Chain A
Amino acid sequence: MWLRIKIAFRNAFRNRRRSLLNIFMIASAVAAIVVFEGFTHNMISGLRETTVQTQTGHLQLALRSFWEKKSNKPKQNLIKSYQRVVTELLKDKRIQYAAGKLEFFGLLSKGDESMSVRIITLDPQKEVSRNKHFRFREGKALHKNRPFQVAVGNGLARKLGLKANSNVSILTHTYDGVVNAMDFEVSGIFQTDIAEFDDSTLLIPLKTAQELLDTTAVEQIVVGLKSSWDTTMVKDSVRAVLAGIDPDIQVKTWYQIATLYKQVSMFNRVQNTMVQFILMALVLLSIMNTVGMSILERTGEIGTIRALGEKRAAVVFQFLMEGLFLGLGGVLLGILGAICIAKGFNAMNIPIIFPGASAPIFIKIEVLYSAILKASLLGLGITILAAVIPAHRASKMNIVEALRYNI
């Protein structure tokens, strides 16, 4: 067995330049896969954190009619028993916070200028961690002791020329259709990196919003967990709690709601899969060509070993081993290369703006074990597959014909 491995190894590196070229080819593909996966993983998980922490929480509870968006009477979508639900939910130790949420549209004015804005509530007392995740470019976050302050998204602030401590007013109508307005002070300007959000959103303390809309109820209850891993399990127990209070309230996880996250991660997955497919197809063709060529060159030798009594399967095995050596070399070099590329990029701090992002972030590549495993298996699998077809052909050669190639 050892001699066979030795033979395959020597044969794999018989034509040094060709073998190195192949190894380099496999290595490039493997490195590209690992780097791209690491890069998009970082981007996606950043987007996930931002989405969950600033917008959706881990779970959202609302009435069926709210989710189905059927009713054009928003008042019917309000959860009246929300205080009780929150109290019950907070008994679960896995839940970090549970807070009511309202989302509505209003007219934000500064002096003569007005703009229609999306207004989202935040409970500064309960949603401490959510509050913390808004990065403030200037000014401060909302505070439970300053009810008449609002926080404004970066893009929105720019459009209206708002600064921290600017005075603004909000005009909207209550759930009963009565027009209502209030004056506020801008507490600060935040940035979530999601452009669509930062360009149109304003945060307001929940209690104040309820006053403005003349209600004591909420549309949704946002639940934040201590660990994202618990999402599905907590969802089930929350459902059980709700069944005892108001069976009309339904739970959704952040993943069901986060449309942007879903689109971006889906897009990335499709893109990565396509890139990987193309890379692997290239590797397949190139290795197939190399193994095919080396088999052609060694036709006489194949004839000789078959004459000596080598079985067909052994001939296939030998060429598969050779492919395996190329694959192993390529995969190892590729992983090494990926680590170097990742280190290099991470050290260089290259800024880049993603579509849908409001500010540049620095390229950061995390070398994931899962990506290494995937790329290695793909790389090895493809090289072996690429060797199978020509190796099989080699084993089927007519011995006498093959022997005539010895000159």
Chain B
Amino acid sequence: MSLKSVPNTLSLVVEAHRVSRTYSIGSHCHQALNQVSLEIRKGDFCDIAGPSGSGKTTLLNILGCLDRPTEGDVLIEGVSTKKFSVNELAKFRSENLGFIFQTFNLIPTLSALENVEYPLLLLSRTYRSRRELAEEALKIVGLENFKRNRPGQLSGGQRQRVAIARALVKKPLLILADEPTANLDRKNSIEILDLMSRLHEENGVTFLFSSHDPLVLKRATKISYLSDGRQEPIPSEERMKDVA
């Protein structure tokens, strides 16, 4: 299903190996994912696509080590995460993963700059290096003039840029983005995606999306299509969708 990237086992970042995830709601079970496998390699711009409720977020959360599969395994650079403790997973996320959310999820009491600094705080960086890196990241997303603003004083598009800077600042192995454009208008969506494409192409940042937005699909170098928790070939009409 790869369009552009060249397979390379050495550059494997994370891998879902036949993962299933069931939610028990009261007495009955709901299978949100069924035997799904997906490999994310360095340099991928991968999208998990599929209609609403098909299990995109569930798969993304499992690959992002926020959730554990009920069956199957998630491998980080070839190593199983089954035996990882909660704190070990947290450490892995803090060191290697960046997250971008549909709802931006900035911390409202912190300024844009402090929000971007936050992930470096978890890495025990010095104040000076935190500031330097955070300012640099804000510059990359074009918000160097808004560093003192709190999230409440920023527009949706600007907030998502801050979130991108926050994901970017620690130079992670992989950035996971769950429906990053769902709360943005078309113009802002295009700007945000252009920014991410640029980061992908110029800086080699690896992205994993969960999104059914045609704008994302168009840019993806690799697509995993889910329907009702199962992996399926991408229906041709999805690709043909007019995004112009």
Contacts and interface: CB of A to CB of B under 8 A. Distances in A.
B107 A304 contact: yes
Contact of B90 (A3, A306, A400, A403): A306
Contacts of B110: 7, 10
Given A10-B109, A406-B105, A307 B114 contact: no
B101 interface: yes
A3 B94 contact: no
Interface string B60-82: 01001011000000000000000
A310 B122 contact: yes
Interface string A89-131: 0000000000000000000000000000000000000000000
A11 B109 CA distance: 7
B228 interface: no
Contact of A3 (B61, B67, B93, B121): B121
Nearest to A301: B107
A153 interface: no
A300 interface: yes
Contacts of B105: 300-301, 303-304, 403, 406
Interface class of chain A by DSSP: helix
Interface in A369-407: 399-400, 403, 406-407
B67 A400 contact: yes
B93 A7 contact: no
A4 B114 CA distance: 11
A308 B94 contact: yes
Contacts of A301: 105, 107-108
Interface in A1-33: 2-4, 6-7, 10-11, 14
Contacts of A403: 66, 101, 105
B101 A310 contact: no
B67 A308 contact: no
Interface centre among A301, A314, A403 (most CB of B within 10 A): A403
Contact of B103 (A307, A310, A314, A406): A406
Contacts of A304: 99, 101, 105, 107
Interface string B113-129: 01001110110000100
Nearest to B178: A403
Nearest to A14: B109
Interface in A287-341: 300-301, 303-312, 314
Nearest to B124: A1
A3 B122 contact: no
A7 B99 contact: no
A307 B66 contact: yes
A145 to B, nearest CB: 82
A174 to B, nearest CB: 88
A309 B94 contact: yes
A300 B108 CA distance: 11
B87 A312 contact: yes
A305 B107 contact: yes
A5 to B, nearest CB: 11
A310 B67 contact: no
B67 A307 contact: no
A301 B101 CA distance: 12
Contacts of B119: 308-309
Interface in A252-276: none
B93 A308 contact: yes
A303 B67 CA distance: 12
B1 interface: no
Contact of B127 (A2, A307, A309, A311): A2
- Which of the listed residues A2, A305, A308 has the most CB atoms from chain B within 10 Å of its own CB? A308
Q: In the complex, which of the residues A7, A307, A399, A406 has the most CB atoms of chain B within 10 Å of its own CB atom?
A: A307
Interface string B39-52: 00000000000000
Contact of A406 (B101, B114, B118): B101
Given A3-B127, A304-B105, A406-B105, 20 more contacts: A3-B117, A3-B121, A4-B121, A6-B114, A7-B109, A10-B109, A11-B109, A14-B109, A307-B93, A307-B99, A308-B94, A308-B122, A309-B90, A309-B92, A310-B122, A312-B87, A399-B66, A400-B66, A403-B105, A407-B103
24 contacts: A2-B127, A3-B127, A7-B107, A7-B110, A10-B109, A10-B110, A14-B109, A301-B105, A301-B107, A304-B99, A304-B101, A306-B90, A307-B66, A308-B93, A308-B94, A309-B90, A309-B92, A309-B94, A310-B94, A311-B91, A312-B86, A400-B67, A403-B66, A406-B103
Interface of B: 61, 64, 66-67, 86-87, 90-95, 97, 99, 101, 103, 105, 107-110, 114, 117-119, 121-122, 127, 130, 166
Please name the 8 residue pairs, one residue from A and one from B, whose CB atoms are nearest each other, closest first: A309-B94, A309-B93, A10-B109, A406-B103, A304-B105, A399-B66, A400-B67, A309-B90
